[in-house]
Structure 1
Amino acid sequence: MAGHAPSNHCWQYYVLVPGKECPLPMGDLLSRVLGSYDLVISGIRQENLKAKKGVWFIDTDQGLLVLKKMPVDSVERLRFLLAAVRHLQERGIKIPPLVPTRSGEAYVMADGFYFIVSQAVRGFPPHYERERELAAMVKALAAFHKASIGFVAPPGSKERSHLGKWPESYAGQAVALAEMAGSARLGDFWQKAGPYLRIFRDRCLQLREELLQSGYWSWVEKVRQGGGLCHQDFAAGNLVIDACGEINVLDIDSLTMDIPARDLRKVMNKVMKKRGSFDADLGARMLDWYCQVNPLSRDELNVVRIDLEFPHIFCGLVGKYHQGRGEDWSEGKFLRKLEEIIAYESSKHAGLRKALGR
């Protein structure tokens, strides 16, 4: 729930002067929030600020800290996240510790927003092309999932869960692709995407049937009864290798209850997509690294295979284009991404079966 320490030349620095308004967007609000902490603050760097979330690096007498505006809609949701973080920390997962307020609270609520302060982590993100760092990252993911077993959302919290929702999600993606395929659309993007809308719609439906016949429901029930969390964005940008060579996990904003396959699919897709196609040998090694720490049964590995083969990335891109959500993307960039993703999605079937020895 923190960021790694920034390099000074990358950030505009603001000196906080007592009695004067902070010269940043939301400056007055930030001053009030930070006033709830027993800190001597000398300066602040804004990393990012969006409608629902924001991150600031704070120079204090206790060292470099991170102030975060949490993207939650209720205190009950925040309690779920904070309880999950405590559970993971108590079981050895390195997540930056929170700094309590003067009154001992874990957060501050101001103007309808929720804020937390945590220690910053100095280090560097793992690199997907360095196998040693990639292996450490995959093993850290497995340790994260293993440590999450036994977590139960406490009373007074609002649980986030994706358990049991995959078949409905798969069906929804198939319907969306069918609707786009059935509408006449002009332009190079739709001319290129058109045939694949039907191809991948059919794949969505086929994989939904495979999911329904797989060990998916048993795995869901196992997590429902025994507890289990997914990070949802266990990527290099949210991880820091510290001076001891250990991986620290950042940005737990999206924690959800679900089976581990959700995170495994996202991590493997990120790594493989950068290579342009699904590398069967690397895929086999990544699954082996994971299973060294958190073993998966043959049925569970089959569920991982199904979710990896599902065209999540293609669905995401055409949905983004259709809904006009890429305001900062040119038409050419959309077309290049589409060509890359079609090539990657088309490589997964054979690569996954080879990786799993099928």
Structure 2
Amino acid sequence: MKTSDDNIYTIWNNEIYCMIDLVEGRESDYDNPIDLSIATKGLAELHLASEGFKGNLCSRCNSGRLINNFTRRLNEMGVFKTVALINEHKSDFDNIFLSNVDHYIAEIKNSIKLLENSFYYKLCAEENKIVLCHHDLANHNIIIKNEEAYFIDFDYAIVDLRVHDLCNFITKGTKNYAFDIEKGKNILEEYSSINPLDKRELSVLYGMLTFPQDFYSIVKDYYTRRKDWTEGTFVDRIKRKTQGEEFRLEFLKAFEDLL
């Protein structure tokens, strides 16, 4: 629905507001291969429709910032490690974190190196590779109706390379299946059937996937108290993240073989 001055959104208090028709459908289910296929094709169509999208809010433009963001997160991980080490009364979370942090620091460094050696900055300079990324592709934000995908809740939307969204989507679509590479390949094939990816984008996607986002998020949530969870909840979540690391690494090795 357009505004009185024929725009699709309006800005109020430095925030973007828009109105869309209510979609009467059901939440997508990533455990359902048909739903996952519909969602994948819908994401490809969303990105295709927004190629070359430009926004006026600099805070929402993420293109070209990823390597710096990952470097900042690497430094944060070092700070969290120091905090855990100096804690005289270490919690269970501290101990699990300290047992794993060096491995994940190495993974972050590897991710940064892969991106630095890729075509990341060149892709960021190509308008047709920059799209409106939803940036919160949880299954409940994709509504299925008549075998078509409808995206809702664009609160976290950013302007960035399309592989940024695709990275998050692949992770969400595979991690509950021990990072099944076949599901990842299916997502790539379904997406590319509508919006083809080139080899340069795949190499950048690999660098993005290498970053241990789940581990970083739970650690930052804990040490900055971003989430009001119990100690037990934090411990359960970091255990799940670290116990699934073997599968994530196997997925990355298989993905690298696709390049």
Normalised to the residue count of structure 2, the TM-score between the two structures is 0.87
Distance in 2 (alpha carbons) for counterparts of 1:334 and 1:231: 27
Q: 1:354 to 1:130 in 2, by over 3 A?
A: same
Deviation of 1:127 (Å): 0.7
Are the equivalent residues in 2 in contact too, given 1:230–1:260 (CA < 8 A)?
Answer: yes
- What CA distance in whole angstroms lies between the structure 2 residues aligned with 1:338 and 1:288? 32
Q: Does 1:344 align with 2:247?
A: no
Q: Which runs of 5+ in 2 are unaligned?
A: none
CA contact (8 A) 1:211 1:306 kept: yes
Post-superposition CA distance 1:202-250 (Å, at most 9, x none): 2111221111001212211113x774221111332111112x3221121
Q: Does the CA contact (< 8 Å) of 1:100 and 1:117 recur in 2?
A: no
Tell me how far apart the structure 1 counterparts of residues 165 and 16 of structure 2 sit (CA, whole Å): 26
1:283 aligns with 2:187: no
1:165 maps onto 2:68 in alignment:
no
Aligned to 2:43: 141
Following superposition, the deviation at residue 104 of structure 1 comes to 7.9
Deviations 1:124-160 (A, max 9, x none): 011111101101101111111111113334xxx4342
Equivalent-residue separation in structure 2 for 1:287 and 1:324 (angstroms): 36
CA contact (8 A) 2:53 2:159 kept: no
Partner residue, 1:234: 137
Instruction: Name the structure 2 match of 1:62.
Output: none
- The one of 195, 198, 204 equivalent to 2:99 is 195
CA distance in 2, matches of 1:146, 1:130: 24
User: Do 2:63 and 2:124's aligned partners in 1 also have CA atoms closer than 8 Å?
Assistant: yes
Residue identity opposite 2:170 in structure 1: M
Q: Is the counterpart of residue 305 in structure 1 residue 206 in structure 2? A: yes
- Give the drift of 1:263: 0.6
Where do residues 103-114 of structure 1 align in structure 2 (5 Å cutoff)?
A: none
RCO (CA 8 Å, sep 6+): is it higher in 1 or 2?
A: 2
The TM-score normalised by the length of structure 1 is: 0.64
1:266 alignment counterpart: 168
Distance 1:255 1:169 in 2: 17
Change (3 A) 1:316 1:111: closer
The offset of 1:301, in angstroms, is 0.8
The runs of at least 4 consecutive aligned structure 1 residues that moved more than 6 Å come to: 103-114
Q: Counterparts of 1:1-358 in structure 2 under 5 Å?
A: 98=1, 116-153=18-55, 157-159=56-58, 160-183=60-83, 184-185=86-87, 186-223=90-127, 227-242=130-145, 244-275=146-177, 277-327=178-228, 329-358=229-258
1:231 is matched by which residue type in structure 2?
A: H
| Aligned-CA RMSD value | 2.5
Shift of 1:167: 0.9
More helix by share: 2
Q: Secondary structure at the match of 1:142?
A: helix
Consecutive unaligned residues in structure 1, runs of 5 or more: 1-97
Whole-Å Cα distance in 1 between the matches of residues 226 and 129 of structure 2? 38
Query: Quick one: distance in 2 between partners of 1:112 and 1:285?
Result: 39
SS at structure 1 position matched to 2:113: helix
Q: 1:198 to 1:113 in 2, by over 3 A?
A: closer
